[in-house]
Amino acid sequence: MPAYRLGFLLCDHALEHLREQFGDYPAIFAAAFASVSPAIEWVVYDATAGQLPASVRECDGFLISGSRHGAYDGLPWITALETCIRQLVDADRPVVGLCFGHQMLGQALGGEVRQAAKGWGIGLREYDICAAAPWMSPQMDSLVLPVCHQDQVLSLPAGARTLAGSAHCQNFMVQFGPRAVGIQGHPEFSPAFVGALIEWRQDRLPAAVRATAQASLTREHDSEIVKRWIATFLELPQEACV
């Protein structure tokens, strides 16, 4: 059976000192998702360099990465990415956005993204499931995922519905349409990688936030289940999932 062509819209590169230990984001994602599907052919588009699909049919589905940038920064590559996202959604292509990718889906489709007054979400955090979709199997009442963000999707575009959230991040997981889902978390990140991000940002994090984030790194998390949900939503071949 031919591999599933996954268009990976790369919106940042890992910091140089983190690349030495963990690799760049394409390698991090490929290693993370290998546990749920060995049948992915990763087609990388470096959106920050203006590389985007020439056709919405180039790949079977699309995954949008995180970024240190803000969706509202107004950079030319972000504007071009917004246009690409709308084209993918209009063409009914399956799309999943993570963190910045989640925010880009919200913004491109008419929602509002801003830096949240509630401050940093960082570490391993828990979110309540408030609506279950068929692709969210096994079903859960809550989930724990790695996170690292200040920005949030504060208001949803028309037709979107929240699937999971918390008091800190109300729109943590959102279905933006039949074929578009955004998740504010990072199922591709290991706790060790999140720990390195906490250390890198230590001067910007309030002491209490930093301590709580560091303490959270030992808790159990649901990244494997969420990656399986993503694989199901993107319609990866079932026999490719384990």
| Beta carbons of 43 and 15 less than 8 angstroms apart | no
Burial class of 116 by CB neighbour count within 10 A (0 to 12, 13 to 18, 19+): middle
HSE of 147, CA atoms in CB hemisphere, 13 A? 30
CA distance 129 to 114: 23
Q: What is the pLDDT along the chain (242 residues), one digit of tens a residue?
A: 678 999 999 999 999 999 999 999 999 999 999 999 888 999 999 999 999 999 999 999 999 999 999 999 999 999 999 999 999 999 999 999 999 999 999 999 999 999 999 999 999 999 999 999 999 999 999 999 999 999 999 999 999 999 999 999 999 999 999 999 999 999 999 999 999 999 998 889 999 999 999 999 999 999 999 999 999 999 986 544 44
CA distance 147 to 212: 13
Question: What is the CATH number assigned to the segment(s) 4-240?
Answer: 3.40.50.880
Helix (H, G, I), strand (E, B) or coil at 84: helix
Q: Nearest to residue 59, comparing CAs of 136, 141, 2?
A: 2
Contacts of residue 92, Cβ cutoff 8 Å, sequence gap at least 6: 178, 179
